[in-house]
Structures are given as C-alpha cells and as structure tokens.
Structure 1
Amino acid sequence: MATVERNLVLVPGLICDEEVWAYPRARIAEVADCHYAPMNETNTMQGLAEAVLANAPERFAIAGFSMGGYVALEVLRQAPERVERIALLDTSSRGDTPEKSENREAAIADCEEGRFEDLLDRFVPLLLHHEHMSGHLAGGVREMGRRIGPQLFADRHRAMLTRSDSRDLLQNTDIPVRAIVGRSDALTSVAEHEEIADLAPRGRVSIVEDCGHMPPLEQPQTATALLRDWLIYD
C-alpha cells in the first residue's frame, strides 16, 4: 500500500457538485486527505480562489475539473508557495475567445429568463461520450445540474468571464503539473492539454480513452488511477 500522505483540494466543474469527485475521493483516501471546494462563494475567479485558499490546509495538492481547473490555476497564481502540485482535468490554460464569452453571456441570460431546462438539454450532450448518453450517466449529470440550479450556474459563468490566460503561469511554475483529458472531449481538446504539459517544465499529459468531458464520472477507475499516479510519482 502507498504511504504518501498529502492534502488534496478537489475543485468541481461548472455543472458539478461534490458527486463528480465521489469515486476518486473514496479510493485515494490512503494517499491523500481530501478537501472539497464547493465553488459557491462568489461570482469572480479571484474570489473563488480566495475562498479555496481560506479553507485549504497550509500546503496542498489541487485537482481542478473543467471550470475547477481555471480556479486551480488562479489559486496557483495567488499563492504559489502553498501549492505542491496541480492536476488539470478537461480544462484549458487559455483565456476565453470572444465566441466563448458570448456563449457564457447567452447562458447567463437563459438562466435569468427561465430557460435553464432548455440549457441543460443543449449542454449535457456536450459533456459525455456518445456511448454514455443512453444510460444512467446522462440522467445523473442532468440531476447534478438541477442541484446546482440556475443562479449558481449563472454565477459560475460570470466568474469564468473574469478569468485570466494562464499560459505564462504554467511556464514559470516548478511544481508537477498533470493534464488529464477525455479523448472525445467536445469542450476542451487533447491539444489544449498537450499544450499545458508542454508549457509546464514538469508537465505530463494523460489521455482517457472512450471518454468525453467527464473522466471522473465516465471512466472513474482510469481517472482515479491517474490521480493516484500524479499524487505519488510526479
């Protein structure tokens, strides 16, 4: 059995609550003391990172999924001396393009104007590998989105509108950086994760096969194995 002991902060994605990390969290407990960051405190990226830091141990590893990757990078920007290593799952180090910003504004409007269910209808199919859309997983993701609700969903989009490009940050960090991505992710590309690994001096990339945007839910065993490997060996 591994004997590595670390503090690990887990940050969820846009449509996610604690459930997205449930499988990995239960299976890496012997190598890491896990702390969940709810990402519901404010609607700015700076404020979300400040909340993580206020509740985190003095030194910690951090894993951010999707939007949580943006938060994790902002945490690293604000307090590099506290972050031991970082895992970035299905995310990007690049700032939003004008098109992405427009899409976020449209999603905020949908939330404010009572079209949240329609938004989920369009959004959930983008998150999963096509083979996972007909089973229980799609329904579970939709229910997780309903638990998040339109107000928090909109606030998280507002926070992402304030985020920075983090490529320079990665170039100047000396901690282990692991980029993990589903091969068929429709929202963040394999190339973006290869870029993360190339930018970071101690970067590595891992690609999860038969998987869309949500490895912790779609391929939980593989995602957990990769996180354990990152925690112990990187």
Structure 2
Amino acid sequence: MQLDFVPGTLCDERMWGRLLPLLGDGYTFNHVPLYQAQTRGQMLELIGAHSAPQANLVGFSLGAYLALEYALAQPERVRSLTIIGSAGKKLADKEKATRERIIPQLEKNQYTGMTQMRLREIVAPQHLDDGALIDVIQQMAVDLGKDVLLAQFRSTIERPDLMQRVRELRCPVLIIGSELDKLAPADDVRELAANCPNARLHVLNADDGAGHMMPLEAPQLLADYMQAFYQSHHE
C-alpha cells in the first residue's frame, strides 16, 4: 500500500523520519513537496500531482488541513485520510494577528531558525532537551528557509473553516491529536472527529509526552494507530 505524506509548515520528508521505519512491511512511501508551492492553490495542485490516483493521504499540521481540503474537493481521488495535529479550522484572530506582525519582520531580517519561544509552543517540555529531535526541526527550518516560511504564512493566513464540512467525507478517516498540542487543541480535534461520520479518533494523553510535533515525538504510538487503521480498512 502506498501512503502519500503531506508535511506541515517548514517541514519536508524528514518530519516522518522516525515514524516510517516503525510502520513495517507492506507500505511504500511517497512525499508531497509542499515547500515548492507559493499559494494554497498550488499546494493543492501539488497534492494531486504527487499522490496516487486513489491516495491514502497522511497529513501533518498545515499538511493535514490541506489534505482535508483536497479530500473534500477531490473525493474520488482519496481512499483514506489520516489527519495529525489539525482540527481543520481557519486561523484564530490571535494567530492571524501574530502572523501579520511576524511577516514584515521576516521580510526585513535574516531567518536563522525557530526561536526557543516557538519551540516551546510546538514541542512537549520533556523533548526540549532532546538534541536529535530539535536538530531535525531546526535543520528543516533553516534548509527550507525564509522564502518558504513567508509563502506558507501568506498563502494560508486566510483559509476556510472545514470543521463542519468533514460531514461530507465518505472515505475512512483517522484523526490523531494530543492533549499537549498548543496549535491544534485536543478539544478542537475531538470536535472535528465528532463531525466526521467515518472518523477514528486517538488523542495522546499528557503522559505520552507529545506536543504538536507528534510524528517526531511519539512515532511508535502513531505507527500503532496507523497500522490498525489501515489493516481494518484495506484488508
């Protein structure tokens, strides 16, 4: 079975590096190069161009939102959908204001990677001292760089709320969230799942030690959930 992975903001295939070896045999992996796009429309086109005709989409964060948007627009092309770290919502006013403040600063200044404040927002406290994990996040950010970050911020600051529209989905859906996720709060993820007739929901608890960056922070749990999901729907 081919799985088509859609990364989040300032992420590429390295986001999945800890997860993929744990999925075991029987899978092939394909990566959507989201960072090549300048607009949200181009991002959706990339998903179509770089995924299977009947895709098993796996999206993280921004990539999960886009995979959901793609599944709603092209239902005949999506066999299953896995949503990690997203509730399919439009940006909150506070987050919009933050981005509108950050964008001019990014335009003027050199980008050297994520700040400690940002890392504390996306990584659980117990992983802040995990040098290997932080290095992956920072290296992706530095390698993809300012232009990619600006394009992803600008093109997704205004986006529709898909929270109610998930009712339209007919494919099987796996939704994974975390109690420690500050960007996609667990209550929002639960609401998304409640709206989706074909959803299987898993919410990692605080003891699981994962914030927003779940594929890096809790890869074994995600692998277990994904294997059970695909086995039940694709036997």
Matched, 1:232 2:227: no
- C-alpha distance in 1, partners of 2:112/2:36? 24
Contiguous gaps of at least 5 residues in structure 2: none
- C-alpha distance in 2, partners of 1:34/1:204? 22
Deviation of 1:195 (Å): 1.1
Deviation of 1:108 (Å): 2.1
- C-alpha distance in 1, partners of 2:211/2:138? 15
* Cα offsets for 1:119-155 (capped at 9, x unmatched): 5333122111101111212233222211121110111
Matched, 1:192 2:188: yes
Alignment-mate amino acid for residue 215 of structure 2: P
| 1:134 paired residue number | 129
For residue 82 of structure 1, the aligned residue among 66, 73, 77 is 77
Greater displacement, 61-70 / 89-98: 89-98
Report the CA distance shift for 1:174/1:154 in structure 2 as closer, same or farther (over 3 A).
same
| 1:51 paired residue number | 46
Deviation of 1:45 (Å): 1.8
- C-alpha distance in 2, partners of 1:197/1:31? 27
For residue 203 of structure 1, the aligned residue among 196, 199, 205 is 199
Alignment-mate amino acid for residue 214 of structure 1: M
> Aligned to 1:8, what secondary structure does the other structure show?
strand
- C-alpha distance in 2, partners of 1:105/1:29? 42
* Cα offsets for 1:43-85 (capped at 9, x unmatched): 2222201111012221111011011111101211221111011
Root-mean-square deviation (CA, aligned residues, Å) is 1.8
> Aligned to 1:117, what secondary structure does the other structure show?
coil
Scaled by the length of structure 2, the TM-score of the pair is 0.90
Greater displacement, 25-34 / 150-159: 25-34
Contiguous gaps of at least 5 residues in structure 1: 1-5
Report the CA distance shift for 1:13/1:148 in structure 2 as closer, same or farther (over 3 A).
same
For residue 17 of structure 1, the aligned residue among 1, 12, 15 is 12
| 1:182 paired residue number | 178
Report the CA distance shift for 1:176/1:118 in structure 2 as closer, same or farther (over 3 A).
closer
For the 8 Å contact 1:45–1:162, the answer to whether it is kept is: no
Report the CA distance shift for 1:90/1:109 in structure 2 as closer, same or farther (over 3 A).
same
Alignment-mate amino acid for residue 201 of structure 1: P
- C-alpha distance in 2, partners of 1:30/1:60? 18
Alignment-mate amino acid for residue 56 of structure 2: A
Matched, 1:70 2:75: no
Report the CA distance shift for 1:141/1:119 in structure 2 as closer, same or farther (over 3 A).
closer
Deviation of 1:115 (Å): 5.1
| 2:169 paired residue number | 173
Alignment-mate amino acid for residue 104 of structure 1: R
The number of residue pairs the alignment matches comes to 229
- C-alpha distance in 2, partners of 1:29/1:75? 27
| 2:157 paired residue number | 161
Q: Which runs of 4+ in 1 moved over 4 A?
A: none
